[in-house]
Every structure is written in C-alpha cells, then in structure tokens.
Amino acid sequence: MLLPTYKDIANAAAVLAGVARHTPIETSRTLDDQLGVHCFIKCENLQRMGAFKFRGAYTAVNHYLNGVDGKELKGVLTYSSGNHAQAIALAATKTLDIPSTIIMPTDAPALKLKATQEYGGNVVFYDRYKEIRDEVAEKVKATLPEGTVFIPPYNHKYVIAGQGTVGKELVEDLQSKSITLDYLFVCVGGGGLISGISLAVKELSPKTVIIGVEPEAGNDAQQSLEQGQIVHIDTPKTIADGAQTQHLGDLTFEIMQRNVSKIITVTDEQLVEEMKFIGERMKMIVEPTGCLALAGVRKLVSRGEIEKGANCGVIISGGNVDLERYCKLISSTF
C-alpha cells in the first residue's frame, strides 16, 4: 500500500466533518508555570468513543464502502487491545451497520471490552503473551464471508490519514490565533498517530520539531529509529496498554524516519504522576497511554532540553480507563 500524503489527510478531514468531533485545545497556567513553557493540549480523550482512534477507523471503513477487490463490503476485521477495537465497532457496526469482528487480548481492559461489545463488535479473544495476533487474524479471517476487509490499528494508509487530522486541527486552530508550535509531543505505540500527525505538521508548520514518547518498558520505536530498521520486541509490560505494541509498521516507520526528530521514553511512575496532574488540575480522566506526551514534555524540560517560553503541543490520545483501575493507579506507590 502506498504511503499517505497530506492530501489524504485533507480528504480524511472532509470525510470526518460532522462525524468526528473537532476536539478542543486546553491550556493550564499551573502547568505552564511549573515547566516554564507554553503547553497547548489537544484533548482526544474527548473524541467519540474516548480516543483519537475513531478518526482513522471511520476514514478507513469509509474508503471501503464502494467495495473490496470488486466485491461488496461484507464486514470488517481487526485486532486491538481496546481503543481501535471500540473505534472499528463504532465506525463500522454502530454507525454504518457493517458487521465487525474484533480480536482482543484476554487481558484487555474491561471498560474497552464492554464498549466494543456495546457498539456491536463481535469479539474473539487471544493470549497476547503466547499467540501472534497476525496469525490469529489469518485464522479468523478464513471463517468470515468474502468481502470482509482487515483494517489494522495503525499500519494502513487511510487509518494514518484519519489520525493525521488531529495534527491538522491542532496546527490550524493555533495558527488562527497566530501561535506557532516549536515542539509537538505525541505518544507512540504502532506509530499511526505520530506518523499521520507528522505529515500534517510538516506540511502546515515545517519548523515544528516532532518528538515521540513511548513507555520505557516498550521502546521498540526508539530502537527502530536509532538502528534504522524495524525492531521487534516481546509484548511490553506497562500500564500504558495502548502502547503495548511489539513493532512499528512498515508505513509508519518510513514516515517516522522522515519526520520525527527523536523518540524518548518515560516510566509508568511518570505516567501516573501526569494522570494525577491532569485529574487534579485540569479536571479530566485520562488513561495511562494518554499521558505519555505530557510526561515527555516534563522529562525534557527537567533536562534543560526545551528552551524557556517554547510553545509545546501535547496530544492526549485517549481517556478510556476503568474507574476502579484509575483510582488504584493514582493511589499507587512505585
């Protein structure tokens, strides 16, 4: 599949108009005072189904509405630990009345599993620590009707294009107020969000430095960019379940090589600290993965790598976390 371009992102924005939410950009004077920079926080936790993933899922499903290899679209198959699962079920089944089959790990967060099922997704379980999900997907697809299309969580042209609309909105909204970002921090799992955003940002604000943030326990993207090849790792054990990917995709990796300045890592403890800050000071419940970017900003500021007064974009990717787990995490000690 060909790499997406900025034109694909602009087309995705048109597809998503009136379907996805144009999410707000929030600021915090307390945060800016603590860090000595200006943070502009794009709140994808307020997106439909609680995460940015709806954008890519709907864009991709919409692409296949005219058929798959000459056949009528009969269904959608994917795998996901939660947010893409919900997004596909909502976009395909709940919104467009197309059957969806979702392969989810047995330890998927209960809230994400419940929402996926309530949106109409047919869930098939697998053990992410013992089974390879691509192999599971091949077996499941063989049981589904012809005309079923597989839409992966990140390594897909139209998924990436849909996610890129996050960056398009952020930059355009800030430019309308004469604000230019010096840095943009984005969480990294499989790379769909950061690669899509990077295409939009390099088109609209080419001097903005794009920095990816991933869990310390799962730094495959960091290793991949440093080594110049896709690095595969075992499923990382981290509270950031949305970033428990084992490797980047070939599409996302190529885009990231071109556009992302570097990847940094943060600890689970740092993620919990940002969950607390966002909850206490900004009055939002955000899942651990959604806190990666802000934790990254704080880390680089503490190291003196971000100049005082810099304009920093921060993507909160999602807010889907069980309340019981949320309470345990913010009360935990490491």
**Catalytic residue numbers?**
53, 81
Can you tell me the distance from the alpha carbon of 2 to that of 116, in angstroms, rounded to the nearest whole number? 30
Residue pair 273/292 in contact (Cβ under 8 Å)? The answer is: no
Question: How far apart (Å, rounded) are the C-alpha atoms in residues 176 and 174?
Answer: 5
Contact 94, 61 (CB under 8 A): no
CB atoms within 10 A of CB 229: 10
Give 298's DSSP letter.
H
Instruction: Give me the amino acid identity at 123.
Output: V
**Own/partner long-range contacts of 271-277 (Cβ < 8 Å, ≥24 apart):** 271/215, 271/239, 271/240, 271/295, 272/239, 272/329, 272/330, 272/332, 272/334, 274/298, 275/326, 275/329, 275/330, 276/330, 277/31
Q: Which amino acid is at 209?
A: V
